[in-house]
Structure 1
Amino acid sequence: MFTHLKNIDTAFKHIRQFSICLIIGNVITMCFCIYKSNQVINQAQSRVHILYNGKVLEAVAADRSSNLPVELRDHIKTFHQYFFDLSPDDKAIHANVAKALYLADESAKRQYDNLQESGYYNNVISANISQEISIDSTALEGKQFPYLFTCYATEKLVRSSGTVYRKLVTQGEVRDIQLQTDNNPHGFLIQRWQILANRDTTIQNPKL
């Protein structure tokens, strides 16, 4: 009789151990399924489809921090192009500079006022000069806003007497104003902007 009870007790322990193992296994399986489901959902939510020229294109949404250096450089590039791309037309110059001033603070306005007072823009118009800028590189420093930057660019001035190339170096900071608008799509603002160098490097005379 005691042997029979002992066998029952042993069988009950085995069943209990098996049940505990089965429950733990089910919990682990459920946790894994929940994790994978969330992973699939997040991947699906990060993918968007764009209709372009009648074709459906797939795009992946990413956190802004992963593209922050790209956005900062594009903001700096856009500002410099608006500010330094000039044509011999007063309205065109004012229109471009107005766009640039949406991307920077009063330090850019001071630079514009200084150039205007020195007769720089009048000289561009009277001499029929077309000025274009190309960004060579933009160095970013820091790990948080405001980011310090140094922009290296080349200016090309085309006039009837020849073409002049200038080396341009500017410096400033970029802060996040946390507001994106049509005039400032990145939501950044350049501050403490200054021109460190703007000197002629090459002069090409037209061939006669």
Structure 2
Amino acid sequence: MTETPVVHIVDDDDAMRHSLEWLLKPLGLEVKTYASAASFLSNHDRDRVACLVTDVRMPGMSGLELHEALAKAGSTMPVIVITGHGDVPMAVRAMRAGAIDFIEKPLNNQLLIERIHEALRLARARRDEAGQIAPIRARFSALTAREREVACLVAAGRQNKMIAHELGISLKTVEIHRHNAMDKMGATTGADLARMLTLAGAI
């Protein structure tokens, strides 16, 4: 069964929260609303495919501060920032923090819907990628220190002879470590191994 994606709305304006909920629910999206950044931080489900639509100016933590706090905590949830007081410095700050868009009120409903769908596609892609990364990292961790060295050099495009020279070991030893590393990683080619190690952040 396909999981219904969630759109989190954080805005201290009751009318805006209700308006966005009314706009988005008929699209088959689950909508959760919060009157403050603190309420969102203490209640949202981190494991769902979701995006965040947040106002900038709110009592307590602002929308931009909320976004920056999520980024600092390692969240990959796509964020759309909205405001009735837009200016260039705010836009720059939001985009530098990784927001996928910065939209001024009054909102263009069609534009917002398009951006939300884009954000949810990105959220799904990020979760799928994260699901691949954990097992790849586990397999990489299971390699011996020498197998890791050889694997990284293979992924970088080095030939066996070059690896042997660089590491000061015999060609036969390189071949053995290469075979073992490829087998343990489940890689069939050097390019396949490079993709895995790139995803895992090993190279």
Whether TM-score is above 0.5 comes out as no
Higher helix share: 2
- TM-score normalised per structure 2: 0.22
Higher strand share: 1
